[in-house]
Structures are given as C-alpha cells and as structure tokens.
Amino acid sequence: MINQNEKPNAVQDKWDSYPRPIQLIMDTIRQQVFKAANDLNIQSIKETLKWGEPSYLCKTGSTIRIDFKTKTPNKCYVFFNCKSKLVETIKEVYSKTDNLEFDGNRALIMDINQPIDLDVLRHCFVLALNYHNIKNLPLLGV
C-alpha cells in the first residue's frame, strides 16, 4: 500500500488552511483516493498542488483534485479533467445518489452536512486512476 501518512509540505500547508471540520472531511476523501489506488494495485501516486488544490496523479489515470471553497462553506469538491468522460460517466451511473451534485463535466460536489457514500466515491476514484486504460470503453467499462 502507498504511504499516505505524510503529505508533501505544500499540500500540508494547504490542508492547514482549511477549518478543522473540513480537514476531517477532506481526510476521508483523501483516504478514498489511496484506497482506490490500493484496489488497483497502483504502487505510486504523486500528491501535489495543482491550481492551488490538493491533487493526485498516477501514470494510468487522470488527475484528481479535491478542495473546499470558503464561498460555499457547506460543500467539498472533487475535480476531474473536464476533457475526460469521467463526470459524464459518473452522472450516468450515480445521478440518483444522495448527496452528490455535479458541476458540468468537471466536478462532483458534496454537502458536508450529509453523509458521503464512500463506496461510490472510491469507485469514482478507481475510474479516474485507471482512466487511461478504460477511456475507450462504453461507460468506462462500468
């Protein structure tokens, strides 16, 4: 399993800027990224900042970014490459899932006051981390 205990300094600084309750939720989201990588036997994920947001990259996948915005204090965001089929597919498969909203073809939005379906979230991350292998399959092979 990938070591997820320590964040790179820039990511930790960003994390520290979040209110404590948001840090806990973001930790849960972050853990699902690493669990998805483990599910796929991915040995290396780069954790960094892209566009000022904690980001997760691997050779087989499309970048995952997660963030909290003070202008929407009750929401957490998971961003995907807007040119990928990820959000389109996730909408198709999980549009009826409670507490999951979408921002066009680029983001999943979760209300922090509602429970997060961790299995759904981890599956979204599995799709993203394996994107280069499944991008030509209908519904990404779901």
Q: What is the pLDDT of residue 49?
A: 95
Per-residue pLDDT, 18: 94
User: What pLDDT is stored for residue 55 in this prediction?
Assistant: 96
What is the structure's pLDDT at 3?
61
Question: How confident is the model at residue 1, as a pLDDT?
Answer: 47
Per-residue pLDDT in tens (0 to 9) along the chain, 142 residues: 456 778 889 999 999 999 999 999 999 999 999 999 999 999 899 999 999 999 999 999 999 999 999 999 999 999 999 889 999 999 989 877 767 889 988 999 999 999 889 999 999 999 999 999 999 999 998 8
Under 8 Å between Cβ of 90 and 108: yes
Q: Give the pair of three-digit tokens for residue 50.
A: 């892209």
The two tokens of residue 141 are 């092979």
Read off the pLDDT of residues 108-136 as tens digits, 9 standing for 90 and up. 999 999 988 999 999 999 999 999 999 99
Burial class from Cβ neighbours inside 10 Å (0-12, 13-18, 19+) for residue 100 reads buried
Please tell us whether the domain made up of 9-131 is placed in CATH 3.30.300.20: no
